[in-house]
């Protein structure tokens, strides 16, 4: 696509739309030409076109940059100096949205740390199940395969799902921000330049549209779609594996329909997670931001596995939870724990509410002559983990407030901690 007569062409930036366009590179090249007093002849290839017939004075701009990262810093933590010297920047879309103030070195370090904290916590839970096999094996019919599936479910959930999300966040420099899809760049550039009359107008249009897919301005919607698919696949598979471990493998006509359904959902989940179909996908928005697209069939398998997980968790944990009810923890201990959780979520106001709420819940649990449904108590760890994910997807990624990203993962990490506590009660009733 030639945007001006060929004889004036000195530099041509050529990219392929499948690889995206780095707006900053385009801008720097344009500035150099303007400083020299030369007019831009074109941005051949910014819309995916080559430059046939160009003269030898035209050359490509090297955009491979294999060692370039965002932020381009030597360490895995953020510092205030990086924001001051320009190594790290608040994404432009967050500034435009008015939530850029939540992006600080402190907030991003907290968010990154708690995301990685789930790994040692999840590995500890898996190790606890292995180390105390002598106590847990009798609860699963002394079947080593069922015991192995319980361990594998925890590892699948924490590592499979965790590494998927963390790699996406690392690419995004740990900032939740509005999303743009680089796959739309070709059509966006074509549409932008169609109504432009001069080369300068066309250049400005291309730079503006290219900036929408620059990682320093927006997050990558294409990457999110892929990451969400694998994240939900691993979470769904983890629930399916734990259900088979808790309920047992079907062995014949004496096996229940629930055992057959749970066992059948394992290969079904693997198939829909890795093979498909990946269309259609969910399409919804909240607060003006699109929610993460998920293949409808994969979402359906997650729902089925969750409901199978309710009786499975009840069979595994129900008896130990009934024996432990009502809770006998000293009031100061429970109030302090609830205050710490509230403080992590909403600072000092949350600490006050948490302390009061913890005291009231403990008093009610010890005073009232009733026991909550065991299925409800048994599913709390999985429900809490899912709740953290929902807060991240429905609130953090739609409001683009970094502290809601932190709160979401505090809730999710609490779910992992509860799972460890439940296994602890199985071993030490």
pLDDT for 402-423, tens place per residue? Answer: 988 998 998 888 888 889 889 9
Q: What is the pLDDT of residue 93?
A: 86
Q: Which residue has the tokens 């999840």?
A: 122
Q: Is residue 338 part of a domain?
A: no
What's the pLDDT band for 150 if we cut at 50, 70, 90?
Answer: very high
d(CA 82, CA 71): 9
CATH, residue 226: 1.20.1070
Q: What is the pLDDT of residue 251?
A: 85
Q: In the predicted model, is pLDDT for residue 236 greater than 90?
A: yes
Token digits for 144?
């080593």
Q: Is residue 344 part of a domain?
A: no
Q: Regarding predicted confidence, which is higher, 227 or 209?
A: 227
156 and 208 together in one domain: no
387, burial (CB in 10 Å: exposed 0-12, middle 13-18, buried 19+): middle
CB within 8 Å of 26: residues ≥ 6 apart = 13, 43, 46, 206, 207, 210
Q: In the predicted model, is pLDDT for residue 50 greater than 90?
A: no
118 and 46 together in one domain: no
Q: How many domains does the chain have?
A: 2
d(CA 419, CA 218): 36
The closest of 353, 410, 422 to 115, measured between CA atoms, is: 410
Q: In the predicted model, is pLDDT for residue 191 greater than 80?
A: no
37 and 124 together in one domain: no
Q: In the predicted model, is pLDDT for residue 180 greater than 90?
A: no
d(CA 346, CA 104): 17
Token digits for 229?
């698919």
Token digits for 123?
């590995």
Q: In the predicted model, is pLDDT for residue 426 greater than 60?
A: yes
Q: In the predicted model, is pLDDT for residue 36 greater than 90?
A: no
Q: Which of 193, 217, 241 is the last residue of a domain?
A: 217
298 and 241 together in one domain: yes
Distances (CA, A) of 392 to 114, 227, 371, 399: 13, 14, 32, 10
67, burial (CB in 10 Å: exposed 0-12, middle 13-18, buried 19+): exposed
108 and 158 together in one domain: yes
Q: What are phi and psi of 286, to 5 degrees?
A: -150, 135
Q: Regarding predicted confidence, which is higher, 297 or 363?
A: 297
Residues 390-402: tens digit of each pLDDT: 888 888 888 888 9
Q: In the predicted model, is pLDDT for residue 332 greater than 90?
A: no
Q: Is residue 359 part of a domain?
A: no
259 and 202 together in one domain: no
Q: Is residue 110 part of a domain?
A: yes
pTM above 0.85, yes or no: no
Q: Is residue 88 part of a domain?
A: no
225 and 261 together in one domain: yes
Q: Which residue has the tokens 């596995």?
A: 305
Q: Of 45-49, 147-151, 394-398, where does mean pLDDT reach its minimum?
A: 45-49
43 and 143 together in one domain: no
Q: Which residue has the tokens 């050359």?
A: 59
Residues 349-385: tens digit of each pLDDT: 777 777 777 777 777 776 776 777 888 888 989 998 8
Q: In the predicted model, is pLDDT for residue 176 greater than 60?
A: yes
Q: Which residue has the tokens 């435009």?
A: 96
Task: Report the share of the chain in percent with pLDDT over 90.
Answer: 25
Distances (CA, A) of 55 to 4, 6, 11, 146, 402: 14, 8, 10, 70, 49
Q: Is residue 357 part of a domain?
A: no
User: Region 26-44: what's the mean pLDDT?
Assistant: 43
Task: Report the share of the chain in percent with pLDDT over 70.
Answer: 77
What's the pLDDT band for 41 if we cut at 50, 70, 90?
Answer: very low
Q: Residue 302 region, left (φ>0) first, then alpha (ψ -120 to 50), else beta?
A: alpha
Q: Which residue has the tokens 């320009």?
A: 86
Q: Is residue 335 part of a domain?
A: no
Q: Is residue 407 part of a domain?
A: yes
DSSP 61-88: -----TT--SS--SSSS--HHHHHTTSS
Q: What is the pLDDT of residue 97?
A: 85
392 and 299 together in one domain: yes
Residues 201-220: tens digit of each pLDDT: 777 777 666 666 666 788 88
Q: How many CB atoms lie within 10 A of CB 163?
A: 14
What's the pLDDT band for 22 if we cut at 50, 70, 90?
Answer: very low
Domain extent at residue 17: 1-67+184-217
Q: In the predicted model, is pLDDT for residue 329 greater than 70?
A: no
The secondary structure of residue 332, as a DSSP letter, is: H
Q: In the predicted model, is pLDDT for residue 308 greater than 90?
A: yes
Q: What is the pLDDT of residue 294?
A: 86
Q: In the predicted model, is pLDDT for residue 43 greater than 50?
A: no
241 and 200 together in one domain: no
23 and 171 together in one domain: no
Q: What is the pLDDT of residue 364?
A: 72
Alpha helical stretches, state H, 212-330: 221-247, 257-274, 296-324
Residues 24-34: tens digit of each pLDDT: 444 554 454 44
**Ranges 60-64, 256-260, 364-368, most confident:** 256-260
205 and 173 together in one domain: no
């Amino acid at each position: 696509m030639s945007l001006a007569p060929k004889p004036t062409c000195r530099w041509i930036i050529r990219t392929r739309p499948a690889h995206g366009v780095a707006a900053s590179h385009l801008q720097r090249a344009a500035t150099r030409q303007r400083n020299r007093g030369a007019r831009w002849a074109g941005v051949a290839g910014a819309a995916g076109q080559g430059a046939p017939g160009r003269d030898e004075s035209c050359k490509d701009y090297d955009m491979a940059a294999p060692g370039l990262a965002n932020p381009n810093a030597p360490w895995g933590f953020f510092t205030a100096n990086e924001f001051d010297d320009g190594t790290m920047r608040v994404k432009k879309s967050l500034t435009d949205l008015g939530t850029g103030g939540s992006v600080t070195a402190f907030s991003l370090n907290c968010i990154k740390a708690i995301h990685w904290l789930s790994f040692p916590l999840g590995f500890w839970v898996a190790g606890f199940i292995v180390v105390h096999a002598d106590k847990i094996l009798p609860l699963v019919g002394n079947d080593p395969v069922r015991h192995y599936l319980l361990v594998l479910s925890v590892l699948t959930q924490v590592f499979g799902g965790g590494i998927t999300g963390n790699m996406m966040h690392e690419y995004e420099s740990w900032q939740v921000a509005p999303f743009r899809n680089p796959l739309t760049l070709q059509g966006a550039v074509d549409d932008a330049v169609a109504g432009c009359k001069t080369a300068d107008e066309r250049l400005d249009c291309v730079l503006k549209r290219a900036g929408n897919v620059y990682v320093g301005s927006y997050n990558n919607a294409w990457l999110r779609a892929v990451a969400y698919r694998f994240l939900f696949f691993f979470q769904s598979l983890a629930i399916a594996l734990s259900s088979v471990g808790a309920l047992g493998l079907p062995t014949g006509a004496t096996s229940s329909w629930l055992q057959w359904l749970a066992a059948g959902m394992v290969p079904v989940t693997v198939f829909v997670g890795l093979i498909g179909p990946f269309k259609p996908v969910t399409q919804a928005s909240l607060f003006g931001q699109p929610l993460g697209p998920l293949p409808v069939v994969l979402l359906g398998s997650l729902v089925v596995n969750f409901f199978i997980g309710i009786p499975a968790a009840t069979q595994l944990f129900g008896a130990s939870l009934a024996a432990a009810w009502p809770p006998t923890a000293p009031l100061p201990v429970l109030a302090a724990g609830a205050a710490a959780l509230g403080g992590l979520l909403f600072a000092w106001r949350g600490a006050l509410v948490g302390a009061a709420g913890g005291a009231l819940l403990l008093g009610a649990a010890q005073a009232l002559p009733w026991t909550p449904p065991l299925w409800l108590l048994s599913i709390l760890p999985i429900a809490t983990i899912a709740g953290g994910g929902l807060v991240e997807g429905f609130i953090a990624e739609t409001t683009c407030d970094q502290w809601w990203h932190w709160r979401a993962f505090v809730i999710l990490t609490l779910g992992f901690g509860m799972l460890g506590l439940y296994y602890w009660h199985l071993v030490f009733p």
